[in-house]
Amino acid sequence: MKIAVIGGGIVGSLIARELTRYEADVLLFEKEADIGWGVTKANSAIVHGCFHETPGTKRASFCVEGNRLYEALSRDLDVPFKRIGAYVVALCDDEIPILEELYEQGLQNGVPGLEIHDRETVLSREPHLNPSVIAGLWSPSVGITEPWALAIAAVENAVNNGLDLHTAEAVTSINVMDGHVKGIITEKGEYKVDAIVNAAGLFADRVADMAGLPSQVIFPRRGEYALLDKKGGSIVSSVIFPTPNTISKGTLVVPTVDGGILLGPTAEDLDREAKDATETTDHGVHEAIEGARRLVPGLDLSLVVKTFAGLRPETPNKQFVIGSTEVNEFFQAAGMRSPGLTAAPAVAQFLVHDVMAQDLSLDERRNFDPIRHGIRRVFDLAGKDADALIKSDPRYGRVICQCNHVTEGEIVEAIHRGARTLDGVKFRTRAGFGRCQGGFCTDKILMILARELGLSPKDITLRGVESVMLSRKVRP
Ligand SMILES: Cc1cc2nc3c(=O)[nH]c(=O)nc-3n(C[C@H](O)[C@H](O)[C@H](O)COP(=O)(O)OP(=O)(O)OC[C@H]3O[C@@H](n4cnc5c(N)ncnc54)[C@H](O)[C@@H]3O)c2cc1C
């Protein structure tokens, strides 16, 4: 049995990993040069508590179960996950009933530990909040993670369990005969496959079209952000939400796992075809910052190191599209809007174990290994362990990214694990993610990539074709 997964975002990566628990040849096709570069790359990175979700919906149940699974999954795959909790804050009397509604909704969804705190308690725990705060809904199960790192780790683990990974290979058509899946055609070749999973994120409607399914609509909803340097990281210790509006959970203040602070996102519906419109706008970034400042007025904006935007894959009825379809052996995990990151582990388990394994009569393998070890970060090691590592390989003693303390040894390890581009190194090691945003280390990382890959520096790109770094000499 040959099964192709289309899309190496968080959803497709976790599905591919679950599939490698079974006796099947699993292939993963990703159109980008690396894993996790679609919607998974640019979002709030919150493992939601799930009190925002309407009780009784798939989103609510997958969200609660996904949140529960994060601890063990992150431990198995050696990926950062911190359960730091969250406050939804009411800044005026009119917002109190909204907190109560979210609390009730959370109870119905089975969210653990919810409490409504008075002003004094909220301010004693988050002293930098707007002093006008009246009350806060506390949700201790909310966590933060590194979504792209989890996707990369899941694929690394899946490859160790037999996954056949095809990056930089877009699927261009699907062969269906007499209502059954027969094969897949990519920009590089043709593959006979027995089943397909559509986990193509924003592009899942186009992939569904390829299989001849009645039209699905997935349109982008842009969310813009500003990221603050680690120096500003201690201003809050939990995720701070405003009360939600009719379109989104609002503009937030979110600690990141590496100690920074994220402000945003906005929510702007775009044309269905604008699936690459990740540019930021003046008004969007302004709205993200002002929304965050309403919650935490003392944010130091001189610490903004980056602005960026992500696109939520929205469906008209706001529901996830998960399961089998009218085309035999064609399965979907599409329309994965927020809280898709939170829900992804539960969605992958449901689709693979409860749907595909039954429909395709898959047998479990005995030798699946769930454990993957992350790249050792010298600065996270105890002194004597760091010394020993540097002694065994002096490249771990050479710091390349000064902002995030990333050594040459870590960069080389990332390349040996599959990084082929500057972004590939950045998303595996955080080199270039810090205050200078690569200003002082890009050239060094580029030369290390060229050396390790045996390529000319001119062949090293930022993120694959069309992102050439060195086009010509400036001096003869
Ligand atoms: C602004 C914003 C904030 C969010 N915040 C949160 C949050 O805090 N918590 C939360 O739980 N969720 C959040 N989400 C939602 C979450 O990010 C998504 O649900 C999740 O990342 C979707 O993952 P995916 O794998 O479905 O999509 P993607 O990550 O987009 O993966 C799909 C992949 O398919 C590939 N692909 C597409 N077409 C083809 C093709 N033809 N051939 C091969 N490959 C193809 C793409 O390149 C892409 O890599 C947020 C989303 C946004 C945009």
* AA identity, residue 278: T
How far is 30 from 28, CA to CA, in rounded Å? 7
pLDDT tier, 474 (very low <50, low <70, confident <90, very high otherwise): confident
Residue 334: band (very low, low, confident or very high) from pLDDT cuts 50, 70, 90:
very high
- Positive or negative CA dihedral for 206, 207, 212, 215? negative
Average pLDDT of every residue of the chain: 96
Q: How many CB atoms lie within 10 A of CB 110?
A: 13
Model confidence at 28, pLDDT cuts 50, 70, 90, reads: very high
Question: What percent of the residues of the chain are helix, what percent strand, and what percent coil, each to the nearest 5?
Answer: 35, 25, 40
Residue 24, number of CB atoms within 10 A of its CB: 20
Percent of the chain's residues with pLDDT above 70: 100
Q: What is the atom index within ligand 1 of the atom nearest the CA of 340? A: 19
Maximum average pLDDT range among 162-176, 207-221, 457-471: 162-176
Gap from CA of 168 to ligand 1 centroid (Å): 17
How far is ligand 1, taken at its centre, from the CA of residue 272, in Å? 15
Provide the pLDDT confidence category of residue 216 given band limits of 50, 70 and 90. Answer: confident
- What is the reported pLDDT for 87? 98
Tell which one of 30, 39, 247 to mutate to probe ligand 1, the residue whose CB is within 8 A of the most ligand atoms: 39
Torsions phi, psi of 448, nearest 5? -65, -40
Query: Which ligand 1 atom lies nearest to the CA of residue 45?
Result: 8
CA of 75 to the centre of ligand 1 (A): 22
Token duo for residue 407? 């050594």
Taken in order 31, 32, 35, 41, the sign of the CA dihedral is negative
Note the pLDDT of residue 222. 97
pLDDT of residue 377: 96
pLDDT range class, residue 364, cuts 50, 70, 90: very high
Active site residue 128: no
Which pairing describes strands 46-47 and 143-145: parallel, antiparallel, or unpaired?
antiparallel
Residue-level pLDDT at 233 = 84
Q: Are strands 135-139 and 86-90 parallel, antiparallel or unpaired?
A: antiparallel
- What band does 473 get if pLDDT is binned at 50, 70 and 90? confident
Crossing angle between the packed helical segments 10-19 and 340-349, to the nearest 10 degrees: 20
Query: Looking at residue 302, what is its pLDDT?
Result: 95
Task: Give me the catalytic one of 48, 52, 117, 166.
Answer: 48
pLDDT of residue 274: 96
Q: Can you tell me the mean pLDDT for 190-197?
A: 98
User: Within its chain, how far is the Cα of 427 from the centroid?
Assistant: 11
- Strand 195-198 to 330-334 pairing: parallel
Distance from Cα 45 to the centre of ligand 1, integer Å: 11
Range name among 101-110, 415-424, 440-449, 463-472 with the lowest pLDDT average: 463-472
Structure letter (DSSP) for residue 214: P
- What pLDDT does residue 4 have? 98
Q: Which residues contact 451 (CB under 8 A, 6 or more apart)?
A: none
Q: Which of 14, 29, 40, 184 to mutate to test the pocket of ligand 1 (most atoms within 8 A of CB)?
A: 40
Look at residue 331 in the predicted model and tell me its pLDDT: 98
End-to-end alpha carbon distance in the chain = 57
For residue 303, give the amino acid letter.
L
Please report the pLDDT score of residue 269 as a whole number.
95
Look up tokens 């079209």; give the residue. Answer: 209
Counting atoms of ligand 1 from 1, which one is nearest the CA of 170? 42
Question: Given pLDDT bands bounded at 50, 70 and 90, which one contains residue 214?
Answer: confident
Our measurement of the distance from residue 262's CA atom to the centroid of its chain's CA atoms, rounded to an integer in Å, reads 14
Which tokens in the block code for residue 372?
């993957």
Buried b (16+ CB within 10 A) or exposed e, 432-467: bbbbbbbeebbebbbebbbeeeeeeeeebbbbbeee
Distance from residue 294's CA to the centre of ligand 1 (Å): 29
113: phi > 0 → left, psi -120 to 50 → alpha, else beta; which?
A: left
Separation between Cα atoms, residue 458 and residue 234, nearest integer Å: 41
- Does residue 476 carry a pLDDT above 80? no
Residue 404 has a pLDDT of: 95
- Domains in the chain, CATH or no CATH each: 2-40+147-218+317-359 (3.50.50.60), 83-143+219-314 (3.30.9.10), 378-459 (1.10.10.1100)
Average pLDDT over residues 79-101: 97
Please give the angle made by the CA atoms of 34, 35 and 40, to the nearest 5 degrees.
125
User: Ligand 1 site: residues with CB under 6 angstroms?
Assistant: 6-12, 29-32, 37-40, 43-46, 48, 170-171, 199-203, 207, 223, 265, 310-312, 336-342
Give residue 116's pLDDT: 98
pLDDT one-digit tens code per residue, 246-282: 888 999 999 999 999 999 999 999 999 999 999 999 9
Greatest Cα-to-Cα distance within the chain, rounded to the nearest angstrom:
70
Q: How confident is the model over 412-448, as pLDDT tens digits?
A: 999 999 999 999 999 999 999 999 999 999 999 999 9
Confidence tier at 232 by pLDDT (50, 70, 90): confident
Atom of ligand 1 nearest to the CA of 66: 11
Atom of ligand 1 at shortest range from CA of 46: 8
Residue 259 φ/ψ, nearest 5 degrees = 100, 0
Nearest-angstrom CA–CA distance, 239 and 142: 8
Q: Are 174 and 303 in contact (CB under 8 A)?
A: no
Residue nearest to ligand 1 atom 3, measured at CA? 43
Cα 197 to the center of its chain, rounded Å: 19
Q: How far apart are CA 102 and CA 198, in angstroms?
A: 33
Which contiguous run of DSSP H or E holds residue 185? strand 180-186
Give me the mean pLDDT over the 41-46 stretch.
97
Q: What does DSSP assign to residue 460?
A: -
- Is the pLDDT assigned to residue 51 strictly greater than 80? yes
Average pLDDT over residues 312-337: 95
The closest residue, in CA terms, to atom 13 on ligand 1 is: 338
- pLDDT for 300-312, tens place per residue? 999 999 999 999 9
DSSP annotation of 9: S
